[in-house]
Structure 1
Amino acid sequence: MMMEKSRINSEYDVLGSAMRLVRTMKRRERLEGGASRGMMRLLAVLSINPGISPKALAEHLEIRPASLSERIRKLEEEGIVRRDTDEGDLRRIKVTIMPRGEAILKETRAMREEDRKLITEVLSEEEQKMFCQISQKLVNAMESIRKEDVDAL
């Protein structure tokens, strides 16, 4: 009987199910050479804001400049981004996405769109609507709890 209860609990483990879905999608992206969420955010910002300063980029991404500097260095080594000195002010650095970075951005967006299509094919329109409503309800509850925790500090 204990085994049956355990099976039922894991079968209806909402958080576990959601995490498995996300892990499965991320695993597929990694296997197909897709970019991580953080890298996608960085590349998307660079694509829209070519020549942005590292400071402005860090502020936009809400990360520490030191953390961003290391990321940019690695991406520069891989030919994904480029750092240039501003011709008007040699003290300023500009960060620009390279064609390889644009290609990664495009390919990863295409993979994510395939995933969206797959999900819309598997779930009916009513199930999609219900999934989104339930997900939003859970997000709201978690944000409320987090706000209460912060307010208690």
Structure 2
Amino acid sequence: MTDQTAYPVSKSDQEWRERLSAEEFHVLREAGTERPFTGEYTDTETKGVYSCRACGEELFRSDTKFHSHCGWPSFYAPSADDNVELIEDRSMGMKRVEVRCASCGSHLGHVFEGEGYATPTDQRFCINSVSLRLAQDEEPSA
């Protein structure tokens, strides 16, 4: 990945390996991708806040999640623009925009524009479930 000293949450590869499962490390720290339609949050409609699985930084809210039928959870906007970092990605012979956690630099997925989804931003943040942790909203007391 990149020089981790540039992020507020900075750990060595060994420290990340101790904190994350092998699959989480592969996706978050080595910019891997989980298989489509296998992630725990792909189709969930649970209301709540999605945070970085590596460092806990808030990234997305359920009210911006939508069904794109692409195989990964999709959001049309982060909870705050400065919670994610967008980086040009020319790997695999393509030109894409990688999405990383701005707090720890972990790979989350990619963002795509102009695909014709009826969302307020015309963006699709295509995010690996294994990069996220969902904190369900509390149900209001009756």
Please tell me the TM-score bracket, short chain as reference: under 0.3
| Larger RCO, structure (CA 8 Å, separation 6 or more) | 2
| Higher helix fraction (1 or 2) | 1
Which structure is higher in strand share? Answer: 2
- TM-score where L is the length of structure 1: 0.21
TM-score by length of 2: 0.22
